[in-house]
Structure 1
Amino acid sequence: MEEIIERTRNIDFHHPFTPYDVQLQFMHTVYNVLEQGNGQIGILESPTGTGKSLSLICAALTWLRDHKRKTYEISIDTAANSFKDEPDWVVEQLLKRKRAEIVDLWEEREANLRKIRAKEAMMEEREKKRRKYGEGNPGKEVKDPDGDEEEWLLDDQDDDDVPKFSNLGKEEVDDSQDGDQVKVGSKALYDCIYPFLTRQQIYYTSRTHSQLTQFISELRRPAFPPSVPDNFLKSDEDREEEAVKHVPLSSRQRLCINPSVARLSSLSAINDRCSELQQSKTKDKCQFIPKADNLAQTHQFRDNVHATLPDIEDLHGLGKTLQVCPYYASRTAIPGAEVITLPYPLLLQKSARDALGIKLDGNIVIIDEAHNIMDAIANVYASEICLKDLVRARLLLQVYVKKFGKKLKGENRVMVGQVARVVDGLRAWMENALGVKADQGIVDPNALLKHKGIDQINLFKLIDYVQGSKLAYKIEGYAARIETQGGTKPGTPFSSTPVLHTLLSFLVSLSNLSSEGRIFYHKVGGKEHEDIKLSYLLLSPTHAFSSIASKARAVILAGGTMSPFNDYTAHLFPNLAPEKITTLSCGHVIPASNLCVWTLSSCHPKSHANRTEFEFSYQRRSDKSMVRELGLAILNICTAVPDGVVVFFPSYGYLDEVVGVWNEADGTHPASIWSKLQNKKTVFSEAKGGSSDDLLERYGKAILDEDPSATAARPAAGARGALLLSVVGGKMSEGINFSDRLGRCVVIVGLPYPNINSPDWKARIEYIESTTLQQLTECEAPRPRNEAVVAAKQAARDFYENACMRAVNQSIGRAIRHRNDYASIVLVDRRFGTDRIRGKLPGWIQGGLVNGSENGGLGQMMSKLSGFFRGKQ
């Protein structure tokens, strides 16, 4: 790491504040990974509260602007070499003219964007005055077209279903998804941008829309120098800041401004209806799609995007103002953007990237909150369908065929019949499976497809037909029309639930079955309303992620809790050379005195003759005496710790079990542990499916000495703060900040291992063992079979254990949120004292561990905690 910092020591990252040492270390590492390029991977951990997002922005954009300047300098050097036979004064004049051309174009573009920003600021000020004086005109209403029954009739398949837009230029950009096209002339796209089309761009992705919004607000903080070299500029006055060009991408669901589309209930229905309104035979075409007669508005949209650093809401509002589709118009801003933000699914799925015109070749990919990345990939490719969905789908098909059957001709009639056969076949298999004794298991795809002769149907052709004809949208749309006209109550078979879109997603999974995926069945619901669900699970993210890693110049995986690291290298980049992977685990910005981490292995010290160790394994966790000792430990913690204490349990079921034991009266102590806890602090408990926002609000009020809700258990007079009982992997374990008084102590009870006996985890373990064994025995230097088997089993065990520890680390990370924060962390389980488990904790947690705490008992811990908090008063 010292070599990295030395190599880039003099770089100004343009951080808006004075960066901490850990931030400098983080930025130097990011810059170095991007500078090396050539498929480099950076896996970087920087605790929440250390300014990770801002550090990513400053490092990446500093590198990008540096790289642009170097590119211009190289172009001048190349030009000079081509004129080497000319006199020096001729060469110098030519190069001077070339530099001036570059600067003139750059100045023209920047001046144009400054005018737009000034106009935007003036309009915002005017709008504020209008609101102040109660003025302002309501937005123009767009008529919602009333379709008739012909809207739901399938087009004859002999017709050309590809939408046609006016040819606006010799070259065209084609962005298509499910058969829809939008074409915009290249000249229209590139005027006032060329030659500043960014050769390298930064694609930044995160898990949620709110996280992307927070990133964009951080993107507005720093200022960066121009992207042209200083020696190209005409005067010092030209060396002003150059605004970052940013475009946020999102789905139609968030960006559509057409009322007849936006009102639909599901993303799949919105996508199909949007495509439908672009078809050549549709009477009421969407008026907002970029085309020849709204080209000026499309250009204005693009330039406004480049000028204003917008978020998704800004794009939606801009589209409504200019009366042009934000979803399609935002694509015109991609070529001139430096930073493109987008949610996980739009980056991780190749079909989504292709639809948006995203080209990763040679570009930078930054994945934030990357501890979720493997689960995110699995979720993108996952699909499921229930028996009740199939029953509803069959009824919708019957209703549709009854109305339009005589009008269906040729391929339409055949394909609708094949969809019905697939529904019947899957339904027959699932009805048979309801009689199987096991509640869950792995499905043999060959057996599944044999029912009703599904295996005789070309699923690839059927999927293409359903997507191209918009069959799912037409059938469900017609059913919804009947429901609306007939006043049918919600919950009837004519529900707007997109069951045929669900079926289509599952058929795509069926057609893409490989060694990396499995299908499972799972019985759901009670005996009276029993249902069964089929689900597809991607077992390995390697192949899905390789299309990103193999194309990008560099990929940065960043997160607050990335530990343990080896899963990413083993399962995302298994074939990448070690020298292409850089890892970093940053320390925290807090001083060491602000963190106290204790491993509580037992209530008694190691020397005690009757020492009973805490071990909340599946086999031992129901031991009532151990659960009572846990309650006494937490009761003592609540005595020593002021304000908020958050306790994380392995599961909701175990949390309920523990509370049940704590409510029991002990023969020697008439008052239950539960009542004693209530006397110490206001007690709150997370419920599965409950509202996290409401619970957090009531918890916060109790700590801040406001009147807590009547639903909370109130403490006796003199008690301090509140106790929150939560679940690892639940709503409180990620995305919720227990900063300052809300989280003075985080307690982790046990290790939340996934259920290894569940079919999906059995399949994962089996897959990792088999693929690892194959790799070790078929490589250039194969291992002996017995050694390879042992190594394969260890690889599967590590994956299983790492999944547990990532969840633990996320829960731990809820406490410390900024430099002046302080907290204690108590790890209750003897296994936290082993080197193997400790090695999988984040570096900053390991640094805060009290040496030998696993051998101490409750008394020593209480002394340590009391002293820690006394020092903070």
Structure 2
Amino acid sequence: MPTVTIDGVPIEFPFEPYDLQKDYMEKVLQCIKNETNGVLESPTGTGKTLSLLCSTLAWVELKKAQRKAQCRDNIDNMYENVAPNEGIAMRSELVPVVIYASRTHSQLSQAINELKRTAYKHMRACVLGSREFLCIHPDLASESNAFKTQMCQVKVKSRACQFHSRIERMKTAPAVIEKNIMDIEDIVKLGNALKFCPYYMTHELDKMADIVFMPYNYLLDHNIRRNLGIKLESSIIILDEAHNIEKVCEESASLQLKSSDITLCIEEVTAAMKLLAEQDKIDVGVEIPEDIRAEDLCDLKEIFLELEKQIDDVKIDVYHGVTHEASFLLDLLARAGIRAENNCNVRRLLDRLTEFLATIADGPFARRGVALQNFHGMLELIFMGKDSIQFWDKVKRCYKVHVQAEPTKKKGGQDNWLSKATVSKAGGKIINYWCFSPGFGMNMFLGERPRCVILTSGTLAPLGPYTCELELRAEVRLENPHIVKGDQVCVRIVTKGPDSETLNCNYNNRLLSWSLVKRSLSIPPCRVTIRTLRSMVEPFLWGFVAAKFQKGWILSITTVGQ
């Protein structure tokens, strides 16, 4: 493959790169080497993904070679004076991991296929996904994602999952370590063949990977990031298809609290209290931790009961709800007994209780702890700023609270478009804590101190308002032109045919004029774009166009819709 040196980094590219691809890779390297953020726009078809992967991994490979050369003679001395945890952090700092995030798993699959085409396909790569995509346990196949997560944790803690028990042995198997790049489908297929858990295997592969692929809500959502154990510090973060990032940032900083959620929390605390009171009579196969005391559980239940009462007392318009300032939710929690000064104690108790309930796999206490875990995540988001005056001032500017009626689910089946949801008779409500500032969510993300963040897409311009809305300090910027030059494109709009007949393809005039096709084929080869529904095109016309296509007169045919 051709090699081009940019900013002192030799980059192997599948072909001789265009000038705009060289410019793009130069900007990527500036972000990485100078540890600064960048916003890079490059239109579709300019080789953006290929340029991203090649330039980033070329720098990583060069850095690894430099560190290896520096440490060749004294590698033993480098680690003998550091503690084990410090040694792990030191290695991570020496060669940062690359985290490549895009919107969906299908887009990540395309990026992985691009990586397989490059000279860097020997570098280790893995894909992180949820249990929804990666769990292969037959007992959990029909479970919802929340219950699947909870029951998976139960089985792992009790060592009842035969797939997880094989992780330690299979993570060094040749079939696993010899395959450098595995997509989700690859790891699931291999997990089924070798009977190991794909979900936990990806976390083992993550520790050895040079580049990790994941959907970008895994990065931006604090709770998902914490649950998956994703560390951003000193990492190289690439957010591809970043034109959608503003909405994800807002959603990651927002939350929803339902009356039914509080009811579930009360039930879970009550179950733990009964278990604690009757521990001599009930054998659940686990020992109740000493740090879970009856008095603490009583206080916690009292908090939830008061919070339930406070929510029920909120006056709303049944059909339209009511909107309040952000302080409304804080006041609601304070009246229930949760404040900034004691929320850490409440969260620690929730942690201990959730962990304990998750170990109870059988009996009436099974499947407990999900609601408490969600409430813990809510408190963590609300009180992340602790006593910072600047933080709470920003919350007042960026957040609104909207309270609405909580619909009840129909009994005896799932809701569908024929069943109209009704308002709960018990006065159940939904409290929406909405963030209206993408910059708030982005600042939460940047607070994890990554080495650099590169936001890139085909459509980001104008870059000024984009970075301003995200409150992102991006010192490196690029707006690439399209790879096809203006003199290579001829665009004409034909409104009438040679017979002066108006070319109209609405429902009442479904027949396409033959003059459109004849005019399009007058200068072969050409590209025909038919702006109509495929079903509205006459079959005999498709036969005519297809015949010309086989002769090479037509390069491509594009229709709109189905």
TM-score band, normalised by shorter chain: 0.5 to 0.7
Cα 1:389–1:353 change in 2 (3 A) is closer
1:301-347, Cα deviation, whole Å (9 max, x unpaired): 7x725524101121222233333333333333334322111222433
- What is aligned with 1:678? 507
- Kept in 1, the 8 Å contact 2:351–2:373? The answer is no
- Kept in 2, the 8 Å contact 1:425–1:454? The answer is no
- Kept in 2, the 8 Å contact 1:297–1:323? The answer is no
- What is aligned with 1:558? 456
Cα 1:243–1:397 change in 2 (3 A) is closer
The correspondence of residues 145-294 of structure 1 with structure 2, limited to 5 A, is 199-224=95-120, 243-261=122-140, 263-267=142-146, 269-279=147-157, 282=158, 285-289=160-164
> What letter corresponds to residue 66 of structure 1 in structure 2?
L
Candidates 346, 350, 353, aligned match of 1:469: 353
- Kept in 1, the 8 Å contact 2:242–2:456? The answer is yes
Deviation at 1:290, TM superposition (A): 5.6
> What letter corresponds to residue 288 of structure 1 in structure 2?
F
For residues 306 and 253 of structure 2, the distance between their equivalents in structure 1, rounded to whole angstroms, comes to 23
The correspondence of residues 192-591 of structure 1 with structure 2, limited to 5 A, is 199-224=95-120, 243-261=122-140, 263-267=142-146, 269-279=147-157, 282=158, 285-289=160-164, 295-300=168-173, 304-305=176-177, 307-349=179-221, 358-391=230-263, 394=266, 396-397=267-268, 400=271, 404=275, 406-407=277-278, 411=292, 413-435=294-316, 439-443=322-326, 444-454=328-338, 458-470=342-354, 501-512=373-384, 514-515=391-392, 516-517=394-395, 518=399, 520-524=401-405, 529=423, 532-538=429-435, 539=437, 540-548=440-448, 550-552=449-451, 554-567=452-465, 569-570=467-468, 572=470, 576=473, 581-591=475-485
> What letter corresponds to residue 27 of structure 2 in structure 1?
T
Cα 1:439–1:334 change in 2 (3 A) is closer
- What is aligned with 1:14? 12
**TM-score normalised to structure 2 length:** 0.68
- Kept in 2, the 8 Å contact 1:384–1:502? The answer is no
| Other structure's SS at 1:307 match | coil
Deviation at 1:213, TM superposition (A): 1.4
- What is aligned with 1:613? none
Deviation at 1:359, TM superposition (A): 4.7
- What is aligned with 2:411? none
- Kept in 2, the 8 Å contact 1:250–1:327? The answer is yes
Deviation at 1:387, TM superposition (A): 3.1
> What letter corresponds to residue 536 of structure 1 in structure 2?
Y
Cα 1:392–1:10 change in 2 (3 A) is closer
> What letter corresponds to residue 97 of structure 2 in structure 1?
Q
| Other structure's SS at 1:48 match | coil
For residues 431 and 537 of structure 1, the distance between their equivalents in structure 2, rounded to whole angstroms, comes to 20
Cα 1:551–1:401 change in 2 (3 A) is closer
For residues 274 and 302 of structure 2, the distance between their equivalents in structure 1, rounded to whole angstroms, comes to 19
Cα 1:565–1:501 change in 2 (3 A) is same
1:529-555, Cα deviation, whole Å (9 max, x unpaired): 26632122344135312234x341x32
Structure 2: tracts of 5 or more residues without a match = 76-81, 280-287, 386-390, 408-419, 498-503, 512-531, 546-555
- Kept in 1, the 8 Å contact 2:304–2:336? The answer is no
- Kept in 1, the 8 Å contact 2:220–2:441? The answer is no
Cα 1:476–1:536 change in 2 (3 A) is farther
For residues 479 and 571 of structure 1, the distance between their equivalents in structure 2, rounded to whole angstroms, comes to 49
Cα 1:590–1:454 change in 2 (3 A) is same
For residues 559 and 457 of structure 2, the distance between their equivalents in structure 1, rounded to whole angstroms, comes to 22
1:822-850, Cα deviation, whole Å (9 max, x unpaired): xxxxxxxxxxxxxxxxxxxxxxxxxxxxx
> What letter corresponds to residue 275 of structure 1 in structure 2?
Q
Cα 1:558–1:425 change in 2 (3 A) is same
- Kept in 2, the 8 Å contact 1:41–1:581? The answer is yes
Cα 1:338–1:450 change in 2 (3 A) is closer
For residues 547 and 362 of structure 1, the distance between their equivalents in structure 2, rounded to whole angstroms, comes to 12
- Kept in 1, the 8 Å contact 2:123–2:210? The answer is yes
> What letter corresponds to residue 558 of structure 1 in structure 2?
T
> What letter corresponds to residue 40 of structure 1 in structure 2?
T
For residues 331 and 168 of structure 2, the distance between their equivalents in structure 1, rounded to whole angstroms, comes to 54
Deviation at 1:289, TM superposition (A): 3.3
The correspondence of residues 837-848 of structure 1 with structure 2, limited to 5 A, is none
How many pairs does the alignment contain? Answer: 471
Deviation at 1:701, TM superposition (A): 3.6
Cα 1:510–1:26 change in 2 (3 A) is closer
For residues 742 and 522 of structure 1, the distance between their equivalents in structure 2, rounded to whole angstroms, comes to 45
For residues 704 and 497 of structure 1, the distance between their equivalents in structure 2, rounded to whole angstroms, comes to 57
The correspondence of residues 61-76 of structure 1 with structure 2, limited to 5 A, is 61-73=57-69
Q: Which has the larger radius of gyration?
A: 1
Deviation at 1:262, TM superposition (A): 5.0
The correspondence of residues 608-757 of structure 1 with structure 2, limited to 5 A, is 677-680=506-509, 701-702=534-535, 741-742=558-559
1:195-244, Cα deviation, whole Å (9 max, x unpaired): 999823321111222211111111111124xxxxxxxxxxxxxxxxx712
Cα 1:418–1:519 change in 2 (3 A) is farther
| Other structure's SS at 2:307 match | helix
1:560-579, Cα deviation, whole Å (9 max, x unpaired): 212232245445565x5xxx
> What letter corresponds to residue 547 of structure 1 in structure 2?
G
- Kept in 1, the 8 Å contact 2:154–2:360? The answer is no
> What letter corresponds to residue 44 of structure 1 in structure 2?
L
| Other structure's SS at 1:741 match | strand
Cα 1:481–1:220 change in 2 (3 A) is same
For residues 567 and 356 of structure 1, the distance between their equivalents in structure 2, rounded to whole angstroms, comes to 33
**TM-score normalised to structure 1 length:** 0.46
For residues 231 and 269 of structure 2, the distance between their equivalents in structure 1, rounded to whole angstroms, comes to 43
Deviation at 1:298, TM superposition (A): 2.1
> What letter corresponds to residue 556 of structure 1 in structure 2?
I
For residues 571 and 503 of structure 1, the distance between their equivalents in structure 2, rounded to whole angstroms, comes to 29
Question: Larger RCO: Structure 1 or Structure 2 (Cα < 8 Å, ≥ 6 residues apart)?
Answer: 2
- Kept in 2, the 8 Å contact 1:289–1:328? The answer is yes
1:606-630, Cα deviation, whole Å (9 max, x unpaired): xxxxxxxxxxxxxxxxxxxxxxxxx
Deviation at 1:461, TM superposition (A): 2.8
The correspondence of residues 138-149 of structure 1 with structure 2, limited to 5 A, is none
> What letter corresponds to residue 296 of structure 1 in structure 2?
R
For residues 361 and 322 of structure 2, the distance between their equivalents in structure 1, rounded to whole angstroms, comes to 31
For residues 107 and 457 of structure 2, the distance between their equivalents in structure 1, rounded to whole angstroms, comes to 12
| Other structure's SS at 1:561 match | coil
Structure 1: tracts of 5 or more residues without a match = 1-5, 83-97, 99-169, 175-185, 190-194, 225-241, 483-495, 599-636, 642-674, 683-698, 708-716, 722-738, 745-873
- Kept in 2, the 8 Å contact 1:472–1:500? The answer is no
| Other structure's SS at 1:342 match | strand
Deviation at 1:368, TM superposition (A): 0.8
> What letter corresponds to residue 469 of structure 1 in structure 2?
L
Cα 1:7–1:214 change in 2 (3 A) is closer
For residues 457 and 345 of structure 2, the distance between their equivalents in structure 1, rounded to whole angstroms, comes to 41
> What letter corresponds to residue 433 of structure 2 in structure 1?
Y
Deviation at 1:27, TM superposition (A): 2.2
